């Protein structure tokens, strides 16, 4: 018995160590800013200053409105009909990119600015800087109810430690706080922050070697236009294509298909395999031999495709596996926090009027 389990542990360790080398990158580092139309972001010089060092994706799109479903889609390949920013916990039967990464022995972390503690699950931190709705991973119970996984959701201060130890994970998702991401502030505030955040990292070999950085926005601010958001690819893997523009139609689902294609991970079988919305970033598609689709009439992606998280006229959501909306035990806290947030927002609106 003991011998057997030692052998199988050794086998697992060996399998993990043999993770397929990425075709184009060994690390991907995704940063989401908030709620900005393409035309506004693309005229900010603190953002455009990165273009000479990277690839502009000028035809990249969010997948719906409001914020939360865009984050959820980027991790799980669908937003399941979600059309709000409330407290959600997607049943543990729903897998994410984390399952695919771990199966191949690849490491991942979600760096969250002002997260009070690793695996913090509440709706908002006391200081109002961290919000659960901008953290895709904690909203999936397949991650949040598994302590090992949940502890990979860390305060962003951990990034400096990881980089200085030469231990950047293979997959990183970075969520700036509510000020730095432009949510409660302006595009200028967010762009100024990016200008302080990215350059030191991009000049550190521990960060930039074999790394693809994706700087993007969750969605447009305006709902009545195509959901096109300013996106730039950086890191030393784009060196040969610096100062170029790629106008292929991409979406947040491309974040998944690109990662899947780079490491040959298989897929989630959701929108990550819908060719109309999941083109693989060209630099990776070229290397892996994936053929992108020339999407002729790209969808605006400014609407909600209904699913089990859609709130219907009765105000209830679909069953899914159990009650996805509010996990038992968390419901009281969650709903009171939602109400507090709603009250705060009403206050903001009242102040604005």
Residue span binding ligand NAG (CB under 6 A) among the ranges 191-199, 268-276, 283-291, 325-333: 191-199
Contact flag: residue 295 with ligand NAG (CB under 6 A): yes
343 class by beta-carbon count within 10 Å (0-12 exposed, 13-18 middle, 19+ buried)? exposed
Check binding of 182 to ligand NAG (CB under 6 A).
no
| Residue number, 1 or 17, with CB nearest to ligand NAG | 17
Q: Is 137 in the site for ligand NAG (CB under 6 A)?
A: no
Q: Are 260 and 100 in contact (CB under 8 A)?
A: yes
Least separation in angstroms between CB 171 and ligand NAG: 9
**Cα angle 79-268-289, degrees, rounded to a multiple of 5:** 120
Number of residues that bind ligand NAG (CB under 6 A): 59
SS3 162: helix
Q: How many CA atoms lie within 13 A of 21 on its CB side?
A: 4
Question: What's the CA dihedral at 149, 121, 142, 26 to 10 degrees?
Answer: -40
Shortest CB 98 distance to ligand NAG, Å: 7
Q: Does 52 bind ligand NAG (CB under 6 A)?
A: yes
| Residue 126 within binding range of ligand NAG, rule CB under 6 A | no
Binding status of residue 66 toward ligand NAG by CB under 6 A: no
Stretch that binds ligand NAG, among 71-79, 217-225, 231-239, 326-334 (CB under 6 A): 217-225
The CA distances from residue 49 to 28, 45, 69, 199, 219, in Å, are 21, 6, 30, 11, 21
DSSP conformational letter for 251:
E
* Closer residue to ligand NAG in complex, CB, 247/332: 247
From candidates 164, 186, 332, 336, binder to ligand NAG by CB under 6 A:
164
Tokens of 234: 């950086």
Instruction: Characterize 68-104 residue by residue with b for buried, 16 or more Cβ atoms within 10 angstroms of its Cβ, and e for exposed.
Output: bbbbbbbbbbbbbbbbbbbbbbbbbebbbbbbbbeeb
Site string for ligand NAG, 71-100 (x = CB under 6 A): ----------x-------------------
Q: Residue from 10, 21, 269, 342 that binds ligand NAG (CB under 6 A)?
A: 21
Site string for ligand NAG, 316-335 (x = CB under 6 A): xxx-----------------
184 contacts ligand NAG (rule: CB under 6 A): yes
Is 132 an interacting residue with respect to ligand NAG (CB under 6 A)?
no
Q: Which are the contacts of 223, defined by CB distance < 8 A and separation ≥ 6?
A: 65, 302
> Looking at 204, 267, 276, 331, which residue binds ligand NAG (CB under 6 A)?
204
| Residues near ligand NAG (CB under 6 A) | 19-22, 26, 45-46, 52, 58-59, 81, 102, 106-107, 128-129, 146, 148-149, 163-166, 168, 170, 178-179, 184, 188, 192, 195-196, 204, 206, 223-225, 228, 243, 247, 249, 294-296, 298, 300, 302-303, 306-308, 310, 312, 316-318, 341, 344-345
């Amino acid at each position: 018995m003991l011998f057997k389990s030692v052998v199988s542990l050794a086998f697992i360790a060996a399998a993990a160590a043999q993770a397929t080398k990425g075709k184009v990158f060994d690390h991907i580092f995704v940063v989401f800013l908030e709620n900005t139309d393409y035309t506004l972001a693309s005229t900010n010089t603190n953002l455009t200053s990165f273009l000479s060092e990277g690839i502009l994706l000028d035809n990249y799109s969010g997948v719906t409105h409001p914020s939360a479903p865009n984050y959820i889609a980027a991790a799980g390949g669908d937003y399941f009909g979600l059309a709000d920013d409330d407290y959600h916990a997607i049943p543990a039967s729903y897998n994410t990119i984390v399952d695919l990464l771990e199966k191949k022995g690849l490491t991942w972390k979600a760096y969250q600015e002002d997260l009070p503690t690793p695996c913090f699950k509440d709706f908002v931190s006391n200081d109002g800087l961290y919000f659960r709705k901008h953290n895709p991973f904690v909203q999936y119970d397949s991650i949040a109810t598994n302590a090992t996984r949940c502890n990979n959701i860390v305060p962003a201060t951990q990034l400096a430690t990881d980089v200085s130890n030469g231990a950047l994970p293979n997959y990183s998702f970075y969520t700036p706080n509510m000020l730095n991401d432009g949510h409660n502030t302006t595009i200028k505030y967010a762009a100024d922050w990016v200008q302080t955040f990215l350059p030191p990292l991009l000049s550190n070999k521990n960060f930039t070697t074999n790394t693809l950085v994706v700087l993007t926005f969750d969605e447009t601010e305006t709902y009545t236009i195509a959901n096109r958001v300013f996106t730039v690819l950086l890191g030393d893997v784009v060196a040969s294509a610096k100062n170029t523009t790629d106008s292929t139609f991409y979406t947040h689902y491309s974040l998944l298909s690109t990662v899947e294609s780079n490491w040959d991970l298989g897929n989630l079988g959701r929108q990550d395999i819908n060719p109309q919305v999941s083109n693989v970033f060209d630099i990776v598609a070229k290397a892996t031999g994936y053929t992108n689709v020339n999407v002729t009439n790209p969808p605006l992606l400014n609407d909600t495709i209904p699913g089990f998280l859609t709130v219907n006229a009765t105000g209830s959501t679909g069953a899914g596996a159990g009650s996805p909306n509010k996990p038992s035990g968390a419901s009281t806290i969650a709903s009171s926090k939602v109400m507090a947030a709603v009250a705060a927002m009403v206050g903001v609106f009242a102040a604005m009027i």
